[in-house]
Amino acid sequence: MCGILAIIGKGKNEKTAKTLSKRMSHRGPDESDMLITENGHILSHERLSIIDLHSGRQPIKGSKNAYVVHNGEIYNHQELRDTVLNHHTFRTKSDSEVIVHLYEEFGYDFCDKLDGDFAFVVINGDDYIAGRDPMGVKPMYYGLDERGRIYFASEMKPIADQCQTFSTFPPGHFYTQKTGFVKYYTPVYEDHTKALQELDLDLIRETLTEATRKRLMSDVPIGVLLSGGLDSSLTSSIASRLLSESGKKLHSFSIGLDENAPDAAAARKVAEFLGTEHHEIHFSIEQGIEILDKLIWHLETYDVTSVRASTPMYFLSKAIAEKGIKVVLSGEGADEIFGGYLYFRNAPSTEEFQKETIERVQKLFTADLLRADKSTMAHGLEARVPFLDKAFLEMSMQIKPEEKQPKTYEGIEKYILRKAFDTPEQPYLPKEVLWRQKEQFSDGVGYNWIDQLIEYCTMQVTDAQLEAAGEIFQYNTPTTKEAYYYRAIFHKYYPQLSAAQTVRKWIPKWQENQDPSGRANAAHLQADVEIAKANITA
């Protein structure tokens, strides 16, 4: 939805603050505004207009002297206006405005009343509060400069060269000067022993449908990222049904190296089945390599998986934005919730399986959510993720883990999610898509993408450079030439140790091959063999 910057403390002039904020202008190409309070604090906002196109400019003032800047969407804003805030006078129709009124009504204790994806800062005189949504769908960083000023920003770009130290703002927390960080989101599922809920397929279907309905809230056109995999296909199918109730047609978008890419072919089949207005985008390996430098600047990470998968998403987002679409639904989160990655098949026990799903969900903000936000917002496009709806997440994470384990259902990952939408009378998807094996996005656009990317990076980094990697990159030292190449680009833009420490490398558990590609798992290799045998027989 936008980019926010807050500087708490006196001394930064308006010109400097505007320059820093404009480093995120890609996040909010529609308009920008800035407030310098009487106490010298600064709130800045780069806006992507989605809700209340005409009066939703930020910072937004509350009923008294408090102001808010907010990145994200508050899906229950109308409910809050009609209930706990019904005696407040609102200046706009923006969903963001409820935040400042909640602060005026409840003080610091209001974040758990918000249903949405958000990062915000409220300033009231010298008092302030900053908060981030439970999963970290919306990014935020914080830092401290040499004069003791505190910075909050949607990306590292405005603060990395201003702060002595900075870090990622933890999801599910708020921060005030009086309290420090407070964890307001403490779901039952964080205790792995509490996953005791019996399987209810109807509840899975109904809750995900409602999560998707919320995310269709918009005053601008909405599309879907349709990879042809299970997760994006389900959100596309649900959204298509919901929009058809009001006579609207869904725009779907897919990407691949060519029309024969695994994901592109499956997405075409889904789009035809659903009757969406489908757009298929292609990119070349040369184009992908060419934009790596700019991409890593946008992503603010050197994680191998994130860079691989963000490249096609970057091209796809550019094409979508050029068609005038500002919001898309995306399928992030399902693999973490339901143990959908192929390595989950190798979990040594049900307990370890459940612990891993919890950790993967908790760390989503370091990888898939970072990719989903920054790849899209590089072009002023907002991605919404129904699978990480709070109600759906909390329900599905408490289902007994043996119901999720692939070995319970002859090795089929995400079986219960597939089964919940296996409705023969009114099918959501073609059978061959509903039961298609997992492809990671970076693989599904075409296997040559990863293979040739690795080959290119190998040619750019010498053996001597890799051997000396520990001298240059003492923290999180890269161990492959591909990882070294990405790290070198990242270091060029973000040389601070604090920047390197915001990145968490993802390595799949319980398999010998540590490459994060899904194809490194034996289950994928076996599936390839079986498909090849079937083709020979045919």
Active site positions, annotated: 2
Say which residue the tokens 């950790």 belong to.
Answer: 359
Show the tokens assigned to 282: 């292609």
User: What are the distances in angstroms from CA 396 to CA 236, 343, 403, 436?
Assistant: 20, 20, 11, 21
Tokens, residue 102: 């909640």
User: Is the previous residue joined to 59 through a cis bond, with omega within 30 degrees of 0?
Assistant: yes
DSSP 77: H
> Which DSSP helix (H) or strand (E) runs through 202?
helix 201-214
Q: What is the CA radius of gyration of the chain?
A: 23
**Strands of the 42-47 sheet, one edge to the other:** 31-36, 42-47, 2-8, 150-153, 141-144, 165-168
Residue the block writes with tokens 């389900």: 234
Neighbours of 512 (CB within 10 A): 8
Contact assessment for residue 12 and residue 42, using Cβ atoms and an 8 Å cutoff: yes
Cα 129 versus chain centre, distance: 23
Strand 327-329, strand 222-225: pairing: parallel
Nearest to 372 by CA among 357, 388, 394: 388
- Specify the DSSP class assigned to residue 81: H
Q: What is the spatial distance between Cα 19 and Cα 41, in angstroms, rounded to a whole number?
A: 16
Spell out a b/e string for 74-107, using b for 16 or more CB atoms within 10 Å of the CB, else e.
Answer: bbbbeebbeebbeebebebbbbbbbbbbbbbbee
Tokens read off for 248? 């609207």
Unique residue bearing structure tokens 């991605």: 383
- The H or E element spanning position 526 is helix 522-537
Tokens linked to 439: 């492809």
Q: Which helix (H) or strand (E) covers residue 353, if one does? A: helix 350-362
Helix (H) or strand (E) holding 371: helix 368-377
SS3 per-residue string spanning 261-309: CHHHHHHHHHHHHHCCEEEEEECCHHHHHHCHHHHHHHHCCCCHHHHHH
Residue 31: CB partners within 8 Å, gap ≥ 6?
47, 49, 57
